[in-house]
Amino acid sequence: MRPTIAEVDLDALSYNYNQLRGIVGKDVAAAPVIKADAYGHGAVRVSARLEKEGADMFIVAFVEEGIELREAGIKTPILIAGAFLPEDAAHIIRWNLTPVVFTISQVDALDSSAKRFDRRINVHIKVDTGMGRLGLAPEDLAGFAGEIMRRKNIVTEGIMTHFAQADIEDNEFAIRQLNVFNGVLGELRRKGINPPVIHAANSAAIICLKESHFNMVRPGLMLYGVFPIDKKWDISLKPVMSLRSKVVQVKRVPEGSSVGYAKSFIAGRESLIATIPIGYADGYSRRLSNSGNVIIKGKKAPVAGNVCMDMTMVDVTDHQGVCVGDDVILIGQQGDELIAAEDLARLTGTIPYEILSCIGKRVPRVYRG
C-alpha cells in the first residue's frame, strides 16, 4: 500500500539481454548474474523472464540465493560463484546447484555428499589472476584440478577468473589478468585437463574486451540497463528499474527557518517544502542530503536538509501547483528530465551497483511487461 515503489520493466530486461546476445554471438553462452536479489530488481521474476529468453546459466553468490530460485521453479543451471563452507555441501547437492571451488575441504565435502546422494556433481574451479579475493593461485591450479579428477563423484565442468579492473577505459590490468588466465589454461590442456566451460567476462569486459569472452560470459549490470563504464559504446541499453513515490505534504516555511535533522537546510527565502515518504532505510542514501534531486511535474527539485530514515524533503518553491499525491521520480524519467542510477552514484561517491542493490525490501517491486 506504500506510495513508494520500485517499478521493474521486464520488457527492458529482455531488450538488454538481446543486446548482449548480439554482442557475444550465438556460440557464446550467457550466464546472467542474479545475485543480491538481481541487483535489487527481484531475483525470482528476473530469472523467470531470462529463463524464457534462453539464458544458459544463472549466477548467484550464496547457496541460499540458489535455493530461492529452485523453490520458485527455476530449472536453468545455477552457479554459486561466492564462497561456501563444507557443511553447505549437502544443500548444494540436494538443490542441484553448481558450486565454484578453490579448496580441498570444499571438494572433499562435495564428494562425500554426492556419494551419499548417489549422484555426480559439476563444479567450476576459480583461479585468482589478480583480484586477490577468492580463488587458487595460478601455480596451484594444475595440482588442484588433478585432485578433483581423482574424486569419482565430481566433474570439472568449468574454470573461471574474475577481473579486478575491467570497468575503466585503461584495461591494461585486465589484459594482464587475461594473459595469466590463458597461461594456466594452456598448462591444463598440456596435462590433458580440458574443462568444457571457460568464463571470465563481466559486463565491462563483454563490451570492451572481446578476447575475454571464451565460451561463456557473465552479464550483470548491463542487463539492468546501466553501462559499467562511463564511456558510451555502440550499443543501446534501457534502464530496467525506476524508483517512484508521491508527495505526502506540502508546507510553506518562512525565510530563516530550518528543515530536517541538524538544521542542515536554512531557507534563504520563504520556501515551499514537499515531503516524500522514502528515506535511507529504503536505500535512498543519506549522502544525498542537500545534494540530490527528484523530479516533480517534469522538473527537478533539490533535496532540502538531511535525508531521514523514512522521509525526504525537497524544495519546490520554483514549481507551480505541487500538491499532495503528485508523482515523484527518484530514479527514472518524467518528461524531458532524467535521473539515472549513475547520477546518484556520482553524487554519493559510489557505484551504480550499490545504488540499485541497496533499494530495500520494504519498497514494493511492481513489474511491468
Q: Are 175 and 216 in contact (CB under 8 A)?
A: no
Residue 352 grid coordinates: 551504480
The residue written with cell numbers 556419494 in the block is 115
| Buried residues in 123-154 as b, exposed as e (16+ CB within 10 A) | bbbbbbbbeeeebbebeebbebbeebeebebb
Amino acid at 292: G
- Give the C-alpha separation, 362 to 352, whole Å: 20
User: Which of 68, 190, 192, 180 minimizes the C-alpha distance to 135?
Assistant: 180
pLDDT tens for 167-193 read 777 789 999 999 999 999 999 999 999
Q: Are 58 and 31 in contact (CB under 8 A)?
A: yes
pLDDT confidence of residue 137: 97
Give the phi and the psi of residue 79 in degrees, each rounded to 5.
-100, 125
When pLDDT is averaged across residues 148-157 and rounded to a whole number, the result is 95
Reduced DSSP (H G I as helix, E B as strand, rest coil) percent helix, strand, coil of the chain, to 5: 35, 25, 40
> pLDDT grade, residue 165 (50/70/90)?
confident
Amino acid at 318: D
Q: Give percent above pLDDT 70 in the chain.
A: 99
> pLDDT grade, residue 231 (50/70/90)?
low
| Buried residues in 230-245 as b, exposed as e (16+ CB within 10 A) | eeeeeeebebbbbbbb
pLDDT confidence of residue 307: 98
Identify the sign of the CA torsion 348, 304, 311, 362: negative
Strands 258-259 and 249-253 turn out to be unpaired
- Give the C-alpha separation, 191 to 185, whole Å: 10
Q: Give percent above pLDDT 90 in the chain.
A: 94
pLDDT tens for 65-121 read 999 999 999 999 999 999 999 999 999 999 999 999 999 999 999 999 999 999 999
- Give the C-alpha separation, 336 to 30, whole Å: 34
Domains of the chain: 31-224 (3.20.20.10), 241-368 (2.40.37.10)
pLDDT at 160 over 70: yes
pLDDT confidence of residue 232: 63
pLDDT confidence of residue 234: 76
When pLDDT is averaged across residues 345-361 and rounded to a whole number, the result is 95
The residue written with cell numbers 561466492 in the block is 82
pLDDT at 270 over 70: yes
- Give the C-alpha separation, 26 to 5, whole Å: 36
User: Which of 163, 180, 154, 59 minimizes the C-alpha distance to 101?
Assistant: 154
- Give the C-alpha separation, 246 to 347, whole Å: 22
Q: Which residues are catalytic?
A: 35, 261
- Give the C-alpha separation, 365 to 6, whole Å: 5
Q: Are 296 and 274 in contact (CB under 8 A)?
A: yes
Helix (H) or strand (E) holding 52, with range, is helix 43-53
> pLDDT grade, residue 157 (50/70/90)?
very high
- Give the C-alpha separation, 54 to 76, whole Å: 9
Q: Are 367 and 10 in contact (CB under 8 A)?
A: yes
pLDDT confidence of residue 360: 92
pLDDT tens for 46-66 read 999 999 999 999 999 999 999
pLDDT at 125 over 80: yes
C-alpha 183, offset from chain centre:
29
How far from 284 is each of 1, 47, 91, 312, CA to CA, in Å?
Answer: 19, 25, 35, 9
pLDDT confidence of residue 167: 73
pLDDT confidence of residue 34: 98
